[in-house]
Amino acid sequence: EAAGEAEVRLLLQEARESIEAARSYRRELQQRLRGLHQAREQIKDSATLTRDVLEQHFSDLKGTLKKLLDERLMSLLQEVDVIEQESIKPLDECQKLIEHGVSTADDLLREGESAVDGDVGQQNEKLCNFTKKALHIQLDSLPEVPSLVDVPCLSAQLDDCLLTILKNQIFRHGTVASRPPVQLEEFVEKPGGILVRWCKVDDDFIAQDYRLQYRKSTASHFEDVYVGSETEFMVLHIDPNVDYQFRVCARGDGRQEWSPWSVPQIGCTTLVPHEWTTGLEGYSLSSRRNIALRNDSQSCGVLYSKAPTYFCGQTLTFRQTVGLPDRRDSLGVCVEQRNGDDSLQRDKAVCISTNGAVFVNGKEMTNQLPAVTSGSTVTFDMEVVQLGPCSNEGGNFKLRVTISSNNREVVFDWVLDQCCGSLYFGCSFSYPGWKVLVF
C-alpha cells in the first residue's frame, strides 16, 4: 500500500512537471507568435511606407519633368517665332517695293495707251510727256528677289538619343532595399536627453558617415540631429516622459547617397533635465536654463542647480567655453546649497578647479587633472559604497567618485555623514567669459 502511494505521488509529480512544461512551452509559442506578428506588421508597414515614398517621388519627378519639357518647348517655339519674323521682314519690304512698281507700271501703261490713241492735235504733247516719264521711272531697273536657296527653311532637330539616355537613367533610378546596413542598438536615459547608440549589421558595408534623425511621436516629419562618423550621440532638449522616434542611416565610403533608414524605434527619458537656478546676479542663463554664462557683473558666488537632480549611477557632464582662470574657480557637486560661499572648494562638496586641481570637502588632492580647456568636457561618475548602517538620522556613507577631464581621470572615495540619494551641482568663476553647458 505504501509503495502504491509513493507511485501515485511520483506520477502526480511527473504530471505537474509535464503541466508546467506544457505551460512554458505554450508561453514560448505565444511569444514567438507575437514576434511573428510584429515581424509581419513591420514588413507590411515598411512596404506601405515604401510604396507611398515611391509614388510621391515619381509623381514629383513627373511633374518636374513635364515642367522642364514645357519650358523647353516654349523656348524652342519662341526661337521659331523670332527666326520667322526676322526672315519674313525683308521679304515683306521687297513685296511692298514690287507692288508699288506694279502700280506705277499700270499707271504708266494707261497713260501711254491714252497718248497713242489720243487726238492728233494733242498726240505729240502727250507722247512727249509719256516718253519723258517712262525714262524717269527707269523701266529697266528691277528689285532683287532672293531665291529659295537663300532664304531660311526652318526645321526641328530632335535627337532620339535623349530618349535612350532618359530610359537608361530612369531604369537605374531608385532601389528598394530590404535590409538597412545600420540599426539602432541602445537608448540610455539621461536628464533631459537620450544617449542613442547604433551599430552596423552588414559587415560588408564600409561606413563613412552616419545620419541620425528624430521626431516627437506627435510630429509628422523627422529632423536631422547628428551627421558624423561616431556611432553614438547625446540628443539633448528631450522632454521627459514623451515618446520620440529615432532612425539612422549611413553613407558608404566614397559615396554621396545615403543608405536606407533603419527601423524606427521609440526612445524616452523619465529623468527631468538639469537646470541652473535663476536669479544669481553674476550669471545669465539660456532659455532652457541648462547653459550658464558668467557675465560682467562684479557679484561673485556659487551658481547651484535648481534642484538635486544628480543621482548616483548617472554621469554628470559639463562642457565649457573658457574665460580667464582663477584658483578659486570650481565645477562640481555638493550635498546642499549654501549661500555666501564663493567656491565649491568647501566641505560636503567635491569639485575641480579650472587649473585642474581636485578638491574633496575643501581639501586639495595630490592627484591633479589637466586644466579645463574650451570645448572639453568634465564628467562626474559616482557609485555608493556604504560603510555602516544608514538611516534618516545619518551614518557613515561613502561614495566612489570618478572625475574625468581631457582623457585623464582621478578616482577617490568621498565620505559623508549622511545618506544622499541625490546631489546638487554647481559652478563658480571669478572672471567673465566662462560658459557652462550641463547634461
Write the DSSP string, 303-354. EEBSS--B-TTSEEEEEEE--S--TT-EEEEESS--TT-S-S-STTEEEE-T
What's residue 364's pLDDT?
95
Same domain, 249 and 314: no
Same domain, 251 and 300: no
What's residue 45's pLDDT?
84
End-to-end C-alpha distance for the chain, whole angstroms: 74
Residues whose CB falls within 8 Å of the CB of residue 146, separated by 6 or more in sequence, listed in order: 90, 91, 94
Same domain, 239 and 374: no
CATH of the domain at 338: 2.60.120.920
Contact, 190 vs 317, CB < 8 A?
no
Instruction: Look up residue 211 and give its amino acid.
Output: R
What's residue 387's pLDDT?
59
Task: Give a yes or no: residue 20 inside a domain.
Answer: yes
User: What is the C-alpha separation between 310 and 402, in angstroms, rounded?
Assistant: 14
Instruction: Look up residue 233 and give its amino acid.
Output: F
Rounded-to-10 torsion of CA 68, 71, 73, 76: -130
User: What is the C-alpha separation between 334 and 390, in angstroms, rounded?
Assistant: 19
User: What is the C-alpha separation between 314 and 305, in angstroms, rounded?
Assistant: 16
Q: In a structure prediction context, what are the per-residue pLDDT tens digits for the chain, which is 439 residues long?
A: 666 778 888 888 999 999 999 999 999 999 999 989 988 987 888 889 889 989 999 999 999 999 999 999 999 999 999 999 998 998 888 889 888 888 888 887 887 777 777 665 666 777 777 777 777 776 667 778 878 878 888 888 888 888 888 888 888 887 777 778 999 999 999 888 999 999 999 888 889 999 999 999 888 899 999 999 999 999 988 989 999 999 999 998 878 888 888 988 999 999 889 999 998 999 999 998 999 999 998 888 999 999 999 998 889 999 999 999 999 999 999 999 998 899 999 999 999 999 999 999 999 999 999 999 998 899 999 998 875 555 444 457 889 999 999 999 999 999 888 888 789 999 999 999 999 999 9
Task: Give a yes or no: residue 177 inside a domain.
Answer: no
Number of domains forming the structure of the chain: 3
Same domain, 161 and 211: no
Task: Give a yes or no: residue 230 inside a domain.
Answer: yes
Instruction: Look up residue 166 and give its amino acid.
Output: L
Same domain, 202 and 304: no
Same domain, 425 and 293: yes
User: What is the C-alpha separation between 290 and 267, in angstroms, rounded?
Assistant: 21
Task: Give a yes or no: residue 278 inside a domain.
Answer: no
Same domain, 145 and 235: no
Residue ranges of the alpha helices (H) in 117-146?
A: 120-137
Sheet of strand 424-428, all strands in order from the earlier edge strand to the far edge: 303-304, 424-428, 330-334, 349-352, 357-360, 363-368
The residue among 139, 172, 205 that closes a domain is 172
Task: Give a yes or no: residue 274 inside a domain.
Answer: no
What's residue 90's pLDDT?
86
Task: Give a yes or no: residue 206 inside a domain.
Answer: yes
Same domain, 6 and 143: yes
Same domain, 120 and 201: no
* DSSP string computed for 220-252: SS-EEEEEES-SEEEEESPPTT--EEEEEEEEE
Task: Give a yes or no: residue 275 inside a domain.
Answer: no
What's residue 391's pLDDT?
47
Distances (CA, A) of 22 to 8, 16, 27, 28, 31: 21, 10, 9, 10, 14
Burial class (CB in 10 A: 0-12, 13-18, 19+), 63: exposed
Report residue 383: phi and psi, to 5°. -135, 150
CA atoms within 13 A on the CB side of 332: 32
Same domain, 239 and 302: no
Which helix or strand (DSSP H or E) is residue 105 part of? helix 2-116
The residue among 121, 138, 172 that closes a domain is 172
Whose cell is 494733242? That residue is 122
User: What is the C-alpha separation between 54 and 62, in angstroms, rounded?
Assistant: 12
296: which DSSP letter?
Answer: S
User: What is the C-alpha separation between 372 and 107, in angstroms, rounded?
Assistant: 109
The residue among 143, 172, 201 that closes a domain is 172
Quick one: cell of 251? 553613407
Task: Give a yes or no: residue 277 inside a domain.
Answer: no
User: What is the C-alpha separation between 32 and 42, in angstroms, rounded?
Assistant: 15
Same domain, 97 and 22: yes
What's residue 173's pLDDT?
84
Quick one: cell of 429? 568663476
CATH of the domain at 243: 2.60.40.10
User: What is the C-alpha separation between 280 and 62, in angstroms, rounded?
Assistant: 60
Which helix or strand (DSSP H or E) is residue 34 part of? helix 2-116
| Structural domain for 413, as ranges | 283-438
Same domain, 165 and 232: no
What's residue 393's pLDDT?
47
